[in-house]
Amino acid sequence: MHRLSSSPDPFRLPPLTRRSVLGLAAAATAAFAPRGARADLPLRIVSTDYALAETLIALDHPPVGLGDVPGWAEWVVAPPLPPATVDIGASLDPNLEVVASLKPDLILTTDYTSGVEPQLSRIAPVERITLYAPGLVPIDAARGATLRLGALTGREAQARALLARTDAFWQAGRAALAPYAQTPLLVLSLMDNRHVRVYAPVGLLDSAMRKLGLVNAWTGDGGFWGFETVGIERLSEVGPAQIFLLENVQEDAWEAIRQSTLWQALPAVRHRPVRRLPSVLMFGSLVAAQRFGEALLTAVPEAAS
């Protein structure tokens, strides 16, 4: 969704001719085009979303401003956020003065952060790029988002190259993990000492597993976000599987779960030791999907040995 802020013209226009209409249309197009399209200058982009930001970084066009910067090192980790990227505050309640001070040419939102569009559109043009919504497969939507961001920033070639590298990674990774294709995987995030987030179809992590030819042991409906938050007793519905636990882990909660009789009785726990995986943006882009895939490329063979 593309929203542009505008203000009414306070001047009365002279009688219009065909030439003047064409001239006004051209002027309006130039006025509302991103600055990078008007002049050979880098587009100054503010993002309210991590997934869009990590894609921009992969295209070598990082955002000048981003929501929730302090959380990046915990939830995204890689790629590192450039030090020059300014924290605009909470993604759902950004500091409008900070956003305005960055003089952005374009502000990116998603369906999740769309509630702030009316305020942000008074500062600069706003474009909503949808990655997670009913009816979408996030990994497919991420491909479209990559191409869109490439077009907006003049990085079309880099966007196509990113897609090509990702496709090549899935192909090579699938071949490398072929011996483990029948091993069911159960990927979890720890919520507290009684609940976990389990990653399900059709989420980003599930798609990455499928791209690598791996089996997701959890077949429940994860909605368009691709996860369910369940009590650990629900994990008894899954037979023998390899459990992977995503960082960040609250060690005290993890210790409590590990020592519980219920956890120790789970078929998947008795089947193989639980393995830890590095933190990855579970609601991310192609960049996050490949980062998760790279972790599995190492972890799956190690777990089977």
Mean pLDDT of the chain: 88
Q: Is 107 helix (H, G, I), strand (E, B) or coil?
A: strand
Q: Which of 161, 144, 209, 135 is nearest to 59 (CA)?
A: 161
> Could you write out the three-class secondary structure of 6-50?
CCCCCCCCCCCCHHHHHHHHHHHHHHHCCHHHHCCCCCCEEECCH
d(CA 286, CA 143): 7
Q: Is 1 helix (H, G, I), strand (E, B) or coil?
A: coil
pLDDT band for 16, please (50, 70, 90 cuts): very low
pLDDT band for 40, please (50, 70, 90 cuts): low
% of the chain beyond a pLDDT of 70: 87
pLDDT per position as a tens digit, 197-256: 999 999 999 999 999 999 999 999 899 899 999 999 999 999 999 999 999 888 999 999
pLDDT per position as a tens digit, 83-113: 999 999 999 999 999 999 999 999 999 999 9
Token pair 């249309």: residue: 25
Q: What local confidence, expressed as pLDDT, does residue 197 receive?
A: 96
d(CA 160, CA 226): 26
Q: What local confidence, expressed as pLDDT, does residue 42 receive?
A: 82
Query: Is the bond preceding residue 79 a cis peptide, omega within 30 degrees?
Result: yes
